[in-house]
Amino acid sequence: MASHECVQLVPIFNDLATNQLDTIESIVRHHHYPAGSTIFSASDALDTLMIVASGQVKVYQLAANGREQLLYLLQTGDIDGEAALFENQQRTSFGEALVPTEVCSIRREDFQNLMRQYPSISINVLNVFGKRLSQLERQTTRATTESVEARLANYLIETAAALKTDTFKLPLKKKDLATFLGTTPESISRKLALFEQQALITQKPGKIIQINDADQLLLTE
Of 39-53, 116-130, 174-188, the least confident: 116-130
Indicate if the pLDDT at residue 182 is higher than 90.
no
List Cα–Cα distances, 218 to 102, 154, 158, 162, 176, in angstroms.
Answer: 26, 7, 10, 16, 22
Of 186, 196, 189, 185, residue with least CA distance to 220: 196
Give me the residue spans of the domains in the chain.
7-142, 146-218
Per-residue pLDDT, 89 = 81
Please tell me the CATH code under which domain 146-218 is placed: 1.10.10.10
The torsion defined by the Cα of 177, 136, 91 and 60, in degrees rounded to 10, comes to -10
Indicate if the pLDDT at residue 167 is higher than 60.
yes
- Taking the C-alpha atoms of residue 72 and residue 202, their distance in angstroms, rounded to an integer, is 26
- Taking the C-alpha atoms of residue 131 and residue 101, their distance in angstroms, rounded to an integer, is 25
User: In terms of C-beta density within 10 A (0-12 exposed, 13-18 middle, 19 or more buried), how is residue 26 classed?
Assistant: exposed
Q: What are the residues facing 94 on neighbouring strands?
A: 60
| 91, 46 Cβ separation under 8 angstroms | yes
CATH number assigned to the domain with residue range 7-142, chosen from the 4 options 3.30.1180.20, 3.40.120.10, 2.60.120.590, 2.60.120.10: 2.60.120.10
Indicate if the pLDDT at residue 192 is higher than 90.
yes
- Per-range mean pLDDT, top range of 85-89, 118-122, 149-153: 149-153
| 144, 170 Cβ separation under 8 angstroms | no
pLDDT in tens, 104-128: 998 888 888 877 887 777 777 677 6
Q: What's the whole-number average pLDDT of the chain?
A: 84
Going by pLDDT thresholds of 50, 70 and 90, the confidence category of residue 200 is: very high
Give percent above pLDDT 90 in the chain.
35
Mean pLDDT in residue range 10-38: 83
Using a cut of 0.85, tell me whether the model's pTM lies above it. Answer: no
**Fold match between domain 7-142 and domain 146-218:** no
pLDDT in tens, 46-77: 888 888 888 899 999 988 888 888 888 888 88
